[in-house]
Structure 1
Amino acid sequence: MAEPTVIVVGNEKGGAGKSTLAIHIATGLLHAGKRVAIIDLDLRQRSLAKFFANRAAWTAGNGCFLPMPFEADLGDGKALAKADEAEQTQRFEAAFAASKEQADVILIDTPGGDTLLSRTAHGLADQIVTPMNDSFVDFDLLGTVDPVTLELLKPSIYSESVWEARKHRAITQGRTATIDWIVVTNRLAVAEARNRRRLEERMEKLARRVGFRMGPGLRDRVIYRELFPFGLTVADLSNEVRPVAVSLAHVAARQELRNLMQALGLDGGAINSPLDAAA
């Protein structure tokens, strides 16, 4: 049996949209027919785990079926966050081993900070997906710029963390073992064109320097938040699953998700609905 692909959604800054991205990648994979396991390492907030708990409750309450991931039991997240490193490592390793037995893809959502479990997960990744908002506030976690000229000076703390993860993987699995790192600009909103152009130029320079590629993210759309309480995404909408009115904006959101999946090298073709034609 082939080893599952491990996708880690990571960024040490909170508010960049990691959980939103993880939710959509997971449902996109499920609709593509993949066996997906999720591990939510944001032990206090647990947004990814809550989303799929909502999904189970909504489908049961509405008498319909939607694909669900496997979720290994980490126990009480808040208690685990306070546990010592040995216990945290043991519980994570057990969850990861159980996930490997059940899945084609293991998707790990990480917290907005530097933690032992987040570093461990990054070291296991085949692919790291890093969302960032289109601002220099988020860019600062990836690279440092000169405050006068805005020229790129050096990689910053999270880039160094990914470098350490790549080095660990090469040591433990051999030099040919690589981590595909993709940075996606998330929650795009109307922004001043000059500022966005400056940011994109620095991103391109940093990408060449530290070895990531750039991809499309998800815009700041109401539908992404509107469907969360139901445990649904735009990938789930159909004639049978339709808790909100469908509009052209939802069709555009589904295309965004297809573009994201394809940029990650995943199957985005399954994210289709007859509602697209009807909207």
Structure 2
Amino acid sequence: MSQASVIVVGNEKGGAGKSTIAIHTATALMHGGAKVAVLDLDLRQQTTGHFFANRRAWLAANGVAAPMPIEHPLSADGAALAQTSEADAVARFGDAIAELLDQADFLLIDTPGSDTAISRAAHGQADLIVTPMNDSFVDFDMLGVVDPVTLELTRHSLYSETVWNSRKARATNERKQIDWIVLRNRLAPTEARNRKRLDERVNALSRKVGFRVGPGLRDRVIYRELFPFGLTIADLSPTIRPVAMSLQHVAARQELRALMGAMGFSGLDESQRMAAE
């Protein structure tokens, strides 16, 4: 059996939508027929872990079925583990990934919004790194530095350095390439002038450090209102419909499909999509 492809959702800034991308990618892959394992390395926040706990409870309470991932919490008390040594946390991560790689088609890892030893270890295991960024120079600063007078790109930032080092080590040690895609998340409908400036700098940096640019998810209410149920738009069907459907939900499903395509995955099952719509 071949080992799972490892998808790491990461950057070193909070609020960029990492967990939203992680849960939607996982559910879309599962509805596409893939066996998915999930690791939530944000030991204190545990947003992805809470999402799938909500999912299990909601499905059981409503007597309906939807695919569930293989889960392997690093500790029963993530907050306590976050206070232990970096060596202990990385060792537990190593044990978990060794167990999960042979159980799934994809291993999806959600990382914390900070630089930690366990996050760096995860990046080093990735086949694909997915980095969401909001439509803002505040978020771009995580990837690259611009001149404050001319706004010209001057150099890459610390997170780009982390990914660069992970890619270099993987290529040297295992002769494998790590793919990297940056997702333009929560695109604003206005401020076209600022977006043009940002587009130019993102594209310039992509050529410099070697990432692809893809579409993320807009700031839609549906992504937030389904979270308490542990559901995403990939789950909506005639039997799973906790909120009223609208044309906005259809647009969101198309958006998710575009996201999956940008990452190189087929994602949603076509018959399930047609039934829901």
One-letter identity of the residue aligned with 1:263: A
Consecutive aligned runs of 4 or more in structure 1 exceeding 4 Å deviation: none
Q: How big is the shift at 1:171?
A: 2.2
One-letter identity of the residue aligned with 1:41: L
1:44 maps to which residue? 44
Q: Does the 8 Å contact 1:246/1:275 carry over to 2?
A: no
| Cα separation, 2, equivalents of 1:218 and 1:264 | 13
1:149 maps to which residue? 150
Where do 1:106-255 residues align within 5 Å?
106-174=107-175, 177-255=176-254
| Cα separation, 1, equivalents of 2:276 and 2:232 | 14
Name the SS of the counterpart of 1:206 in structure 2: helix
What CA deviation, in whole Å up to 9, does each residue of 1:54-78 have, x standing for no partner?
Answer: 0000000000000000011311111
The count of residues paired between Structure 1 and Structure 2 equals 274
What RMSD, in angstroms, separates the aligned Cα atoms of the two structures? 0.9
Q: Does the 8 Å contact 1:237/1:273 carry over to 2?
A: no
TM-score, normalising length: structure 2: 0.97
What CA deviation, in whole Å up to 9, does each residue of 1:7-36 have, x standing for no partner?
Answer: 000010000000000000000000011110
2:16 maps to which residue? 16
| Cα separation, 2, equivalents of 1:149 and 1:87 | 46
One-letter identity of the residue aligned with 1:230: F
Q: Does the 8 Å contact 2:28/2:268 carry over to 1?
A: no
| Cα separation, 2, equivalents of 1:89 and 1:131 | 24
Name the SS of the counterpart of 1:102 in structure 2: coil
One-letter identity of the residue aligned with 1:238: S
| Cα separation, 1, equivalents of 2:276 and 2:23 | 21
Q: 1:101–1:3: structure 2 CA closer, same or farther, 3 Å change rule?
A: closer
In structure 2, the gaps of 5 or more residues are none
One-letter identity of the residue aligned with 1:191: T
Q: Does the 8 Å contact 2:10/2:132 carry over to 1?
A: yes
Q: How big is the shift at 1:94?
A: 1.1
In structure 1, the gaps of 5 or more residues are none
One-letter identity of the residue aligned with 2:96: A
Q: Does the 8 Å contact 1:227/1:233 carry over to 2?
A: yes
One-letter identity of the residue aligned with 2:220: R
One-letter identity of the residue aligned with 1:15: G
Q: 1:231–1:269: structure 2 CA closer, same or farther, 3 Å change rule?
A: closer
Q: How big is the shift at 1:87?
A: 1.3
Q: Does the 8 Å contact 2:2/2:102 carry over to 1?
A: no
Name the SS of the counterpart of 2:102 in structure 1: helix
Q: Does the 8 Å contact 2:40/2:73 carry over to 1?
A: no
1:28 maps to which residue? 28
Q: Does the 8 Å contact 1:35/1:105 carry over to 2?
A: yes
2:264 maps to which residue? 265
Q: How big is the shift at 1:269?
A: 4.3
| Cα separation, 1, equivalents of 2:4 and 2:173 | 17
% identity of equivalent residues: 64
